[in-house]
A and B are shown apart, each in its own frame.
Chain A
Amino acid sequence: MSVWTELVGQDRAVEVLSAAASEPAAMTHAWLITGPPGSGRSVAARAFAAALQDPHDSDGTGHEVRTALAGTHADVTVFATEKVQISIAEARELVGLAQRSPSQGRWRVIIVEDADRMTERTANVLLKAIEEPPPRTVWILCAPSPMDVLVTIRSRCRPVNLRVPPAEAVADLLVRRDGIDPELALTCARAAQSHIGMARRLATHPDARAYREKVLAVPTSIRGVGDAVLAAQTLVEDATEQSKLATTERDAAEKAELLRTLGAEEGARIPPALRAQIRQLEEEQKRRARRSLIDLLDRAMIDLLSFYRDVLLTQLGSDIPLINQAQTQQVQAMAGATAPEQSVHRMQAVGLARTRIAAGAAPLLAVEALTIALRPQG
């Protein structure tokens, strides 16, 4: 097994990256890995970092490679944010880190996942450091598309584009790595539209599958405006519930840990001098919860989009396989009852809701407007 095993269906990218790792002349100091969500950007970045640390380790069992892949290598920094934006203070820290030479490996590698989550001011802080890093520092930025990062950052990086992996390849990975039943793996890979992480989540979490089915039931269950508003409420409430499940336990553990580090007793009155730090933690947690809710809703929107895509495909008589094979019946019923123009309009409504929620609109209201646009009309 080589370092590239988990990067499925990306032969061209693997070729470029492995050549750069083994051939000094093919190497560059800054890389921008782009590709649709779930295509394995961060996997590619880690694999590349591992290959850089030890290019001769072809079977990926050496210490350097194993630690780099696991994210524990001393010279490989993986920076990801759980908030909506990377803050300027965090960017400055990375700039400082980039100046240090590697302590044990061949390269100091700094991976910035979500490089698109930077405001212009934050990105500007990184400009100089990315343009001329010290001889043995490599920046690897990940973003959905080159257009998502500032043009001045883009021009300083060498682009590597990942494509959407075929569903079969993703299913194959799920079977091989996570021991999922092949049939379920293929269904999940299709439903997740080859988003590897999402496919895995669907395959391993029955709750996630149930939520997805609930979302897909929305188009056929709305009969009028009242139903639409109620359906929107259920969608948002369920998403909130899920994001809470994911964060509550962790929030409490973090708070307990912080109190312990600060020397405050659990349950006792918190001394006034420490309150600012507790408040800061709570604010961070709030931001994280918001991001997680937005992400979940966005995922629900993508599922809805896939449903109308299937409807449109059926209406146009295309023979491309459906994403939602389990919902074939609903898709056909919907395709018969509506016109292709309506499907396009509805897909646009879903797109609008996605943009608005990402831009900070009130989630419930945006979803309400969406479900209203999805109701049967004329």
Chain B
Amino acid sequence: MPLAPVVLVRGGEGLLVDRTVARLTALVREHDPEAEVTVLEAGAYERGQLEVLTSPSLFGEHRHLIVEGTESASDAFIEDALAHVAAAGSTIEDVTLVIRHEKGTRGKKLLDTIGKAGYPVVTCDQIKRDGEKADFAAAEFSAAGRRATSAAVQALVEALGSDLRELAAGCSQLISDTTGTITPDVVERYYGGRVEATGFRVADAAVAGEQTQAITLLRHALETGVDPVPLVAVLAMKLRTLAKVAATRGRGSAADLGLPPWQVDRARRELRGWTPEGLARAITAVADADAQVKGESRDARYAVERAVLIVASAREG
């Protein structure tokens, strides 16, 4: 099968894009082991470069061009690439061009032209949902001919799910280091203690009165680069919902709050153990922390930690 002269790889999931580009390069090598592979940065492209690189060479080897960062390409690149796409397949031979475009509308005309000309367009959208991440990990294991229980896959996604590259690296480590079926115990041995800590999980634990867990999650979150300011905002939002739902308790008009029903139900469950005084103490502490992380105090991390401790201890029973 002949190689497509132009391939567009779109999307922000870096790992998948890298894999696609690597696969394309491998195909080119299969076609011509002597092929010359060049990587171009579209942002720093200067007029004519494309023509220089694609002009027929003395030894007639195949030339493979990979253009990175088209989302911030120079105007010159877009013009030259348009001309190349128009001529590719007819007057330009022995050249394959791979264009990487992460996001945004820069160079939209070029993208549309490639799509309309019928060249292959590979879309690698970001994988966001946990279910999709689990599917990805399971596929990694089965591609290597290994079996993994679904609980193990779930545990792995929980530990490493924030970044697909990390997840893939974790899979490959488990594949190379272990034998037999991969069980949750194996995952625990390798990645135990690592948690995917977001502001929401910290707030959930704090509101549930789980002091130890809340602090552990908070430290994880701060260490992995979550900013104290949004952490405080999430805590505040959580407590606000609780207070609002508490205000309607007994009056039963939660529909007027403008909150989705599942949030109201959840808040009702979480309200067990909370007294109005406790809520008042918690909200005041979070407001203090908000002012502190915005400059009233020098140590933002301490301020958040103190707020989380007060919130967790403000719940009774």
Q: Is the interface of B mostly helix, strand, loop or mixed?
A: helix
Contact of A229 among B243, B288, B290, B294 (CB under 8 A): B243
Known interface pairs A368-B287, A372-B283, A372-B284; A229-B295 also in contact (CB < 8 Å): no
User: Judging by beta carbons under 8 Å apart, are B276 and A368 in contact?
Assistant: no
Known interface pairs A225-B279, A229-B240; A361-B290 also in contact (CB < 8 Å): yes
Residues of A within 8 A of B286 (CB): 365, 369
Known interface pairs A225-B246, A226-B246, A227-B247; A361-B291 also in contact (CB < 8 Å): yes
Known interface pairs A225-B276, A366-B287, A368-B240; A359-B247 also in contact (CB < 8 Å): no
Contact of B248 among A226, A356, A360, A366 (CB under 8 A): A226
Question: How far is the CB of A175 from the nearest CB of chain B, in Å?
Answer: 43
Query: What does the 1/0 interface line of B218-260 toward A look like (CB < 8 Å)?
Result: 0000000000000001001000100110111100000000000
Interface residues of B in 273-311 (CB under 8 A from A): 276-277, 279-280, 283-284, 286-288, 290-291, 294-296
Question: How far is the CB of B279 from the nearest CB of chain A, in Å?
Answer: 5
User: Judging by beta carbons under 8 Å apart, are A359 and B294 in contact?
Assistant: yes
Contact of B280 among A359, A362, A375 (CB under 8 A): A375
Residues of A within 8 A of B240 (CB): 229, 233, 364, 368
User: Judging by beta carbons under 8 Å apart, are A230 and B247 in contact?
Assistant: yes
* Contacts between chains A and B (CB distance < 8 A), count: 73
Question: How far is the CB of A238 from the nearest CB of chain B, in Å?
Answer: 15
**Bound form: Cα–Cα A369–B284 in Å:** 5
Question: How far is the CB of A221 from the nearest CB of chain B, in Å?
Answer: 12
**Bound form: Cα–Cα A372–B290 in Å:** 16
- Residue with the greatest number of chain A CB neighbours at <10 A, chosen from B288, B290, B295: B290
User: Judging by beta carbons under 8 Å apart, are B276 and A224 in contact?
Assistant: yes
With an 8 A cutoff between CB atoms, is A373 at the interface?
yes
Sorting the interface of chain A by its residue count into under 10, 10 to 19, 20 to 34 or 35 or more gives 20 to 34
Known interface pairs A368-B240, A373-B284; A226-B276 also in contact (CB < 8 Å): yes
User: Judging by beta carbons under 8 Å apart, are B291 and A356 in contact?
Assistant: yes
Known interface pairs A369-B287, A372-B284; A225-B243 also in contact (CB < 8 Å): yes
Known interface pairs A226-B246, A362-B233; A369-B283 also in contact (CB < 8 Å): yes
Query: What does the 1/0 interface line of A349-378 toward B look like (CB < 8 Å)?
Result: 000000010011110111011001101000
Interface residues of A in 233-282 (CB under 8 A from B): 233, 272
The 10 closest A-B pairs by CB, nearest first: A226-B247, A369-B287, A229-B243, A225-B276, A356-B291, A365-B236, A226-B246, A361-B291, A225-B279, A372-B280
Give residues in A with beta carbon < 8 Å to B: 224-230, 233, 272, 356, 359-362, 364-366, 368-369, 372-373, 375
Extra 7 A-B pairs, beta carbons < 8 Å, given A226-B247, A229-B240, A229-B243 = A226-B244, A226-B246, A226-B249, A229-B244, A362-B233, A364-B240, A375-B280
Contact sample, A vs B, 15 pairs, CB 8 Å cutoff:
A225-B276, A225-B277, A226-B248, A227-B247, A229-B244, A230-B244, A356-B296, A359-B296, A361-B290, A362-B236, A365-B286, A365-B287, A369-B286, A372-B283, A375-B280
